[in-house]
């Protein structure tokens, strides 16, 4: 079979002539020959498989630059790249799903003030931050107030003032009377102010590597906890004896796990496991995850920096949370446990119990 005209090739490949011309200009699908007189593009029949692959990848939503890369790979590597792309799409969709759920809950509230459950609830909480056994200083900040729980893990040479500034910027949320309809805007404004505060104390010339911080916080509304999360500090929920991680790490290795490039076991010992893809700092992506959690009497929440979560096995964290009474005792035992595992990093913990209001 001879060369195909652009019209015939478009029909066979299910790509429009306009798309074929664009892909030629981008070097994505170059014609076998261009007629020197008419300028018509001519394609070889053996190019159909590549054209159909491009068409399917575009239907999948893959960006053109990534399609160009996939076309250079053998079949096995191309399949792995598509698998990684789709895993990333699913992770992004999950994040948008959480935001959609937040918005639905937020807009469904009809009361002008924060709703209360039939069973009035309150928080009993404690916070503790420790330098650990290896680091020369403590760059973490932990806070537990009547309405606000927060952990920030600073990084770089100015990590300590960065984490402190981020948490201090959120303390205004302790005020009562935030209308339900304003909750989302209040949280978004608070994160922006925290970012500005970090930039203010670290200086304009600082990069995220030199000065930045994670920020993970929960705001008590009277019946729910509103979560704001940036970075790799974590929130765990102990409910009915089971421990659930309810945040998603914003790290390079977690992204690789999401894309199927690493197993969770490989990620745990990866040399770049602490490299953040989101943080508060100059030039960093500070897009927060936001979520609402319905509180139940008997729930226990743990906010912690990675000095605990990457050092102490989850089963041990579960044991301490389930086996200790007061939050003050729990945070002390968790810090001691992390130090018992060598204390290689700063350790910050906030433990909050949901209890009947007295």
List pLDDT tens digits, range 294-326: 889 999 999 999 999 999 999 999 999 999 989
Distance CA 160, CA 191 (A): 18
- H or E segment and range at residue 356: strand 347-356
Residues of the chain with pLDDT under 70: 1, 95, 98-99, 101-119, 176-177, 179-181, 204-210
Comparing CA positions, the residue from 314, 292, 296 lying closest to residue 353 is 296
Backbone angles phi and psi of 26, in degrees to 5: -85, 0
Please report the pLDDT score of residue 111 as a whole number.
44
Residue 356, C-beta contacts closer than 8 angstroms, at least 6 positions apart: 119, 120, 121, 122, 297
Asked if 251 and 276 count as a contact pair (C-beta separation under 8 A), the reply is: yes
Class of residue 198 by CB neighbours under 10 A (exposed 0-12, middle 13-18, buried 19+): buried
Digit-coded pLDDT (tens) for 63-96: 888 888 888 888 888 888 888 888 878 777 776 7
Please report the pLDDT score of residue 164 as a whole number.
96
Which residue do the tokens 């760059």 mark?
Answer: 139
pTM above 0.75, yes or no: no
Please report the pLDDT score of residue 222 as a whole number.
80
Please report the pLDDT score of residue 322 as a whole number.
96
For β-strands 347-356 and 300-304, DSSP reports them as antiparallel
Asked if 284 and 278 count as a contact pair (C-beta separation under 8 A), the reply is: yes
- H or E segment and range at residue 142: strand 140-144
Mean pLDDT (the chain, rounded): 86
């Amino acid at each position: 079979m001879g060369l195909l005209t652009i019209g015939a090739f478009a029909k066979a490949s299910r790509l429009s002539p306009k798309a074929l011309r664009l892909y030629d200009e981008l070097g994505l699908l170059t014609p076998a020959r261009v007629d020197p007189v008419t300028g018509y593009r001519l394609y070889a029949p053996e190019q159909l498989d590549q054209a159909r692959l491009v068409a399917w990848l575009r239907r999948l939503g893959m960006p053109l630059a990534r399609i160009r890369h996939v076309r250079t790979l053998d079949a096995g590597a191309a399949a792995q790249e598509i698998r990684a792309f789709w895993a990333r799409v699913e992770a992004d969709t999950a994040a948008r799903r959480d935001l959609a759920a937040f918005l639905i809950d937020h807009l469904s509230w009809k009361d002008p003030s924060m709703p209360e459950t039939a069973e009035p609830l309150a928080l009993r909480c404690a916070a503790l931050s420790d330098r650990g056994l290896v680091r020369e200083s403590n760059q973490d900040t932990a806070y537990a107030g009547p309405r606000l729980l927060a952990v920030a893990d600073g990084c770089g040479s100015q990590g300590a003032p960065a984490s402190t500034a981020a948490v201090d910027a959120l303390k205004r949320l302790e005020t009562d009377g935030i209308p339900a309809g304003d909750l989302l805007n209040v949280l978004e404004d608070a994160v922006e102010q925290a970012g500005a505060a970090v930039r203010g104390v670290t200086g304009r010339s600082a990069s995220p590597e030199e000065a930045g911080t994670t920020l993970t916080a929960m705001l008590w509304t009277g019946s729910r906890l509103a979560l704001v999360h940036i970075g790799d500090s974590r929130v765990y929920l102990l409910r009915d004896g089971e421990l659930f991680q309810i945040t998603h790490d914003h790290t390079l290795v977690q992204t690789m796990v999401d894309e199927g490039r690493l197993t969770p076991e490989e990620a745990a010992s990866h040399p770049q496991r602490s490299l953040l893809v989101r943080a508060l700092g100059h030039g960093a992506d500070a897009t927060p995850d936001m979520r609402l959690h319905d509180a139940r009497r008997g729930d226990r929440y743990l906010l912690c920096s990675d000095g605990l979560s990457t050092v102490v096995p989850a089963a041990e964290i579960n044991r301490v949370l389930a086996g200790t009474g007061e939050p003050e005792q729990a945070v002390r035992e968790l810090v001691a446990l992390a130090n018992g595992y060598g204390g290689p990093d700063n350790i910050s913990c906030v433990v909050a119990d949901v209890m009947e209001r007295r």
